[in-house]
Structure 1
């Protein structure tokens, strides 16, 4: 299976946010999308999840034309293509476990969800997802009492409950300190490697993209200007993506550094054996 963007364009009035993008992403890749603010990264992810519709072009997942989906079929796609946001998008007053179980909303009758009725299997799966992210001890706390790094891990656990085929992360570490950024990126990499789930993540930092992503897509002005491996992301490629300083000087990569590297050894996160099979439809 593969995901394809075919000549995708998104306009906002006279502004072109994403301009004629063509990408083919095989199942199981971990892809980092980098570029300046306003380059079109977030718009691209929102179109993949169909939170925004392309102005022209089409989106395809295997034989499914994603850009043509409506109604229940569209809701099913948004279930299968889980989204993690920079702002976490949790319900602060609800406890952590309930927030995680909300990832099952598109798998169950609406009446059960409205009444807050979850099955024993769903509760077991929620605890398993929290254990995997190393935050099971927070299960009964209101989500709003957690730190930013913990809330982002709750959001990842909720995404796992959707049993997705693809995981999209829109600037998942932009508001986190380096330690929590590493914990979150280790978690995303672990999901990618163990489940074979495609992960596409927008990142501001070159070192993070190089450390975690097998493929890097660079955007500038709505266009894809680089598509290659971390080793191919050289000074010339960085110049195409980020341009130069006002005096024509090269961009200092330390400006985009978080001082984190992969290793799955960050304090507070040790990937456990995957135990979310009971959440799968």
Structure 2
């Protein structure tokens, strides 16, 4: 169980996260939605401890990770893998080495920098790439790959950490709908096969409703919605996005995983209301 208790984060006079409390059971796939500036990324970065909370506690298996330092903090960041919108790969290194860097917190840093990875670790990395259907790129420089391929490499690297929680900060924001769908399917597969908790920030409603068991909506640093896909009514969407942000909630320009496949799929009541405007 991951517990976020009365967490607040201030940057000077600006409050990015305002007294947020959540309980996320092990093995749940959670989508956090909201407009830009709602606090989604700050919340994930606090969970991973890339940003420290100003107030409150973040508990995992009874440990307040907000107070960890040194080796204990590094171990938490190993157990709580982070996937970024910008991929954060080393472009000049080959794909296989980028994936192997996910073992940094499991071994000597000097050995890792010298490329002294074991045969077993290399086999693990190839298996992760095969699982994500990009093993053929193993010896290519990461910088030569498409955005969708690079994000899958980043997911493979996260798997190499043997994490207990996977955080994905806007993982499809820079991808086209086809690659966005592949990346979201990969995250869902990790959640279902490994039973890992996956928490991902998303912009569009259709992606969150299709892939996530639970949706958390944020507005102005506060949680304004917490429920299942079927609970996300028009009223709830308006609380999250505001009246002037409703069209963006379904916009593929922001990046959605909706892909036309010949016969149009039925749209929900909420989508029908928006389409009529």
| Counterpart pick for 2:250 among 251, 254, 264 | 254
Instruction: Note the C-alpha offset of 1:253.
Output: 4.5
Instruction: Note the C-alpha offset of 1:255.
Output: 2.6
> CA separation in 2, counterparts of 1:196 and 1:253?
29
The residue aligned with 1:131 is 130
> CA separation in 2, counterparts of 1:7 and 1:77?
20
2:115 maps to 1:116: yes
Checking the alignment, whether the CA contact within 8 Å between 2:204 and 2:248 is kept in structure 1 is: no
Distance 1:143 1:208, change over 3 A: same
The residue aligned with 1:272 is none
Specify the SS of the correspondent of 1:172: coil
Checking the alignment, whether the CA contact within 8 Å between 1:181 and 1:260 is kept in structure 2 is: no
Structure 2 unmatched ranges of 5 or more: 260-277
The residue aligned with 1:21 is 20
The residue aligned with 2:7 is 8
Structure 1 unmatched ranges of 5 or more: 262-281
Deviations 1:198-227 (A, max 9, x none): 000000010000000000000000000000
> CA separation in 2, counterparts of 1:34 and 1:114?
37
Deviations 1:147-204 (A, max 9, x none): 0000000000000000000000000000000000000000000000000000000000
Deviations 1:24-46 (A, max 9, x none): 00000000000000000000000
* CA root-mean-square deviation: 1.3
> CA separation in 2, counterparts of 1:29 and 1:115?
37
Specify the SS of the correspondent of 1:245: helix
Total equivalences in the alignment = 257
The residue aligned with 1:271 is none
> CA separation in 2, counterparts of 1:64 and 1:118?
31
The residue aligned with 1:151 is 150
The residue aligned with 1:67 is 66
> CA separation in 2, counterparts of 1:123 and 1:200?
27
> CA separation in 1, counterparts of 2:64 and 2:158?
23
Instruction: Note the C-alpha offset of 1:114.
Output: 2.1
> CA separation in 1, counterparts of 2:16 and 2:6?
13
- TM (norm. structure 1) is 0.89
Deviates more, 1:107-116 or 1:219-228: 107-116
Moved over 6 A (4+): none
